[in-house]
């Protein structure tokens, strides 16, 4: 709406001509005719306010123009009406024309400037305001904090009269400090509050979960005089974020027992926890609870369910949910495509991708990653080039795929190309660069990247921090890796796992064990990656009994089901130590019998201890899984050669050449589709 310059109050004659009732003078001897009394100013102000709240700006303006007398309430009501619809220019005209202003007038315009994304202008206007109240201070502190202007927000906060400071002003400062990751400052404000409300407590519980420890957050949560759904959800989310999924579920049960009404966000957090922990039964029960609570048709939770069942590997259930959704948004489509990609059902993902009514960057990026995961890097890059808009997430996805496929040099080049094309790298892309440099052992470039991270302010990002630890460790600079790790008071679980793995790779098992114990004391719960590092440390140091104890504790103590990589670590540990029969038993006890890495570990151990019979068995199983596996042929041929068995060595080489000659060329779905489309 165009800005309007407001007219002065019209005369009574003009109002009469406009149809506004007015009192007609009469003679003394005649009875006055019945007329309707003029509405008083209070009634007109109330009507003006009502029009503004309902967004009827034209009605509000017309009523204001026809009012015979206006007071500061009238002017403020019109100003607020324009402010509520975001019309800054007209609101400013009204404000400038006001003969008299009160605190509400100043507050309305200050709030409008904040909503318009002009915090500096709002701050300047606030400083000019002669009359301020608690609402004025609360609004400007909140707006400045959200804009990242913490220094200005802090100055206003300390200027605020103490009687108004708590809880609104203090809550705004707590929120601002936590948004900037300044937990210590937030705690300082919280501890100094004379009066706290449930918002104060909930904010600090959430802050401790994000930047402190879960144990500290739980202690504060238990001390809360009252809790609401936000408090409970924040604490449950904290457990899920730190991998303490069963603790989160138990707290959710407590929430239900206390009669707290859960909302969609709570259910979404619980579903996410079930998905990450592969808690199939619990996830199904939460799904049933959603249906009983009437959330079956909710799109937001429907998307969460698709994600959960996809992570369970139950793609039939995920597809069924998708099919029965009465309404689907783009998140629904993307969730199912991502599920197909995660479960290596790339063909199904591609079909769904082509059926999408609309696509966004996530849709395109998911397919780019899907093709790359299959090793179809040419098709992945081609699809990336077709993207209408390439954001930093898509660039990072291609880089991540290159690193995952071992194309480290290409990943470094891709990062440089990303910068040259004007796309600013994000922390994910930068972490991929660090991973590539680490694998290439390019220490000098890694040092330059570290300096770049400091200049960009990324040093406290959990992914970047962990990647720097890994980079220095792989480049042989363990002391520097430990220095980087130690410079952060509350390292993330990712960084802790990186440091444990670094100790393991350098044969420092005792240091890995100490860090494992310390992380639990600090409130971190080990996950699958943590135990991979610990078991690797045991294997490198030959600590068989320690390895067994840690492996068994995964299920019994931490509720973590060992995956094939953990079994492979145990096979490597037993095989290196010469316990070849036990290593074979461990391989045969794996839920996934055809996991090649475990048989490769057994083959390597058989070669190390010159056990030809076991080597033949391991090689045979490897070739059953993949007849073209070069490792099996090479190790077996070398063992026959070392044993002086030249004929057997030649037979192995002939078999390898025969298999390679009969290998059929591969093709991908994208090539087939292009051929079909050209016909």
Pair (529, 501) in one structural domain: yes
In a domain, 531, yes or no: yes
Q: Residue 2: pLDDT above 70?
A: no
The domain that holds 636 is classified in CATH as 1.25.40.10
CA dist., res. 374 & res. 395, Å (int) = 18
3-state secondary structure of 170: helix
Domain's final residue, options 562, 590, 605: 562
Looking at the fold, whether 552 and 603 belong to one and the same domain comes out as no
One domain, residues 654 and 576: yes
Q: Given a cut of 80, is residue 610 above it in pLDDT?
A: yes
596 and 554 in one domain?
no
Identify the band that residue 12 occupies on the pLDDT scale cut at 50, 70 and 90: very low
Indicate the DSSP class of residue 213.
-
Domain that holds residue 595: 569-661
| DSSP H stretches of helix in 577-629 | 580-588, 596-608, 612-625
The model's pLDDT over 65-109, given as tens digits with 9 standing for 90+, comes to 888 888 888 888 888 888 888 888 888 888 888 888 888 888 888
Of residues 577, 530, 573, the one with CA closest to residue 586: 573
**Residue 599, burial from CB neighbour count under 10 angstroms (0-12, 13-18, 19+):** buried
Among residues 562, 590, 620, the one where a domain terminates is 562
Instruction: Give 335's pLDDT tier (boundaries 50, 70, 90).
Output: very high
Which pLDDT does position 639 carry in this prediction? Answer: 67
- Specify whether 618 is located in the same domain as 536: no
Please tell me the predicted confidence (pLDDT) of residue 671: 37
Radius of gyration of the chain (CA): 34
- 337 within a domain of the structure (yes/no): yes
Whether 675 shows a pLDDT value over 60: the answer reads no
Residue 645 DSSP class: -
% pLDDT > 90, the chain: 29
Q: Is the pLDDT of residue 605 over 50?
A: yes
Q: What is the pLDDT of residue 657?
A: 42
DSSP state for residue 251 in the 8-state scheme: H
* Choice among 143-152, 321-330, 432-441 with the minimum mean pLDDT: 143-152
Let me know if residue 456 belongs to a domain: no
346 lies in the same domain as 327: yes
Provide the 10 A C-beta neighbour count for residue 1. Answer: 12
pLDDT at 23 over 60: no
Q: Is residue 300 part of a domain?
A: yes
Looking at the structure, tell me whether residues 551 and 577 fall in a common domain: no
The reply to whether 21 falls in a domain is no
Task: For residue range 246-292, list pLDDT tens digits in order.
Answer: 899 999 999 999 999 899 999 999 999 999 888 899 999 999 999 99
629: in domain = yes
Mean pLDDT over the full length of the chain: 82
How sure is the predictor about 543, in pLDDT bands with cuts at 50, 70 and 90?
Answer: very high
**Domain termination residue (choose one: 326, 357, 388):** 357
pTM of this prediction exceeds 0.75: no
Q: Is the confidence at residue 623, as pLDDT, over 50?
A: yes
- Measured CA to CA, the distance from residue 480 to residue 477 in angstroms comes to 5
Residue 11 has pLDDT above 70, yes or no: no
Per the CB < 8 A criterion, the answer to whether 548 and 515 are in contact is: no
- How far apart CA 633 and CA 672 sit, in angstroms, is 33
Q: What is the pLDDT of residues 561-603, one digit of tens each?
A: 898 999 999 999 999 888 989 999 998 888 877 788 888 888 8
Confidence of residue 538 (pLDDT cuts 50, 70, 90): very high
- 640: pLDDT confidence band, cut at 50, 70 and 90? low
- pLDDT at position 84 is 83
Q: Which helix (H) or strand (E) holds 535?
A: helix 528-541
Total domains in the fold of the chain:
3
């Amino acid at each position: 709406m165009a800005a309007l310059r407001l007219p002065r109050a019209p005369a009574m004659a003009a109002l009469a001509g406009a149809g506004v009732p007015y009192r007609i003078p009469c003679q003394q001897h005649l009875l006055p005719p019945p007329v309707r009394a003029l509405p008083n100013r209070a009634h007109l102000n109330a009507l003006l306010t009502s029009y503004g709240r309902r967004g009827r700006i034209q009605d509000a303006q017309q009523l204001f123009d026809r009012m015979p007398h206006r007071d500061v309430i009238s002017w403020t009501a019109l100003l607020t009406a324009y402010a509520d619809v975001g019309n800054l220019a007209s609101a400013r005209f009204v404000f400038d024309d006001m003969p008299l202003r009160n605190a509400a007038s100043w507050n309305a315009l200050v709030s409008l400037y904040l909503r318009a994304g002009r915090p500096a202008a709002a701050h300047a206007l606030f400083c000019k305001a002669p009359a301020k109240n608690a609402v004025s201070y609360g609004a400007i502190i909140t707006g400045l904090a959200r804009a990242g202007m913490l220094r200005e927000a802090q100055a206003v906060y300390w200027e605020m009269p103490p009687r108004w400071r708590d809880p609104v002003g203090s809550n705004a400062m707590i929120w601002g400090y936590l948004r900037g990751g300044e937990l210590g400052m937030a705690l300082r404000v919280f501890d100094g509050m004379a009066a706290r409300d449930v918002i104060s407590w909930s904010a600090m519980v959430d802050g401790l979960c994000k930047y402190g420890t879960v144990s500290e957050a739980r202690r504060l949560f238990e001390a809360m005089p009252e809790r609401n759904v936000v408090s409970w959800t924040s604490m449950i989310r904290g457990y899920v974020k730190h991998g303490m999924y069963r603790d989160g579920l138990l707290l959710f049960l407590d929430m239900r027992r206390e009669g707290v009404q859960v909302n969609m966000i709570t259910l979404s957090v619980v579903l996410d926890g079930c998905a990450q922990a592969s808690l199939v039964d619990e996830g199904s029960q939460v799904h049933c609870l959603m249906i009983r609570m009437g959330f079956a048709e909710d799109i937001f939770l429907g998307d969460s369910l698709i994600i959960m069942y996809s992570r369970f590997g139950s793609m039939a259930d995920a597809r069924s949910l998708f099919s029965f959704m009465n309404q689907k948004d783009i998140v629904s489509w993307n969730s199912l495509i991502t599920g197909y990609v995660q479960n290596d059902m790339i063909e199904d993902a591609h079909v769904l991708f082509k059926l999408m009514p609309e696509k966004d960057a996530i849709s395109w990026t998911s397919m780019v990653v899907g093709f790359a995961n299959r090793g179809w890097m040419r098709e992945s890059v081609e699809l990336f080039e077709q993207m209408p808009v390439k954001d930093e997430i898509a660039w990072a996805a291609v880089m991540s795929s290159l690193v995952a496929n071992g194309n480290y040099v290409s990943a470094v080049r891709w990062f440089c190309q990303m910068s040259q094309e004007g796309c600013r790298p994000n922390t994910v892309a930068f972490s991929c660069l660090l991973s590539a440099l680490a694998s290439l052992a390019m220490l000098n470039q890694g040092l330059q990247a570290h300096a770049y991270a400091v200049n960009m302010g990324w040093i406290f990002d959990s992914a970047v921090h962990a990647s720097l630890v890994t980079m220095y460790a792989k480049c042989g600079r363990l002391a520097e890796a430990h220095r980087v790790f130690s410079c952060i008071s509350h390292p993330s679980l990712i960084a802790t796992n990186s440091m444990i793995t670094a100790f393991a790779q350098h044969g420092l098992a005792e240091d890995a064990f100490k860090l494992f114990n310390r992380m639990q004391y600090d409130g971190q719960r080990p996950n699958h990656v943590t135990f991979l590092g610990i078991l690797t440390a045991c294997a490198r140091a030959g600590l068989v009994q320690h390895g067994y104890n840690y492996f068994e504790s995964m299920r019994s103590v931490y509720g973590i089901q060992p995956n094939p990589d953990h079994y492979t670590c145990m096979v490597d540990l037993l095989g290196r130590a010469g316990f070849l029969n036990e290593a074979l038993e461990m391989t045969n006890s794996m839920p996934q019998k055809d996991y090649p890495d475990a048989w490769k570990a057994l083959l390597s151990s058989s070669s190390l201890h010159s056990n030809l019979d076991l080597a033949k068995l391991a090689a045979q199983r490897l070739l059953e899984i993949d007849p073209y596996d070069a490792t099996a042929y090479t190790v077996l041929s070398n063992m026959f050669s070392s044993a002086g068995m030249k004929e057997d060595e030649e037979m192995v080489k002939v078999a390898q050449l025969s298999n390679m000659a009969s290998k059929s060329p591969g093709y991908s779905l994208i090539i087939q589709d292009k051929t079909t489309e050209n016909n």
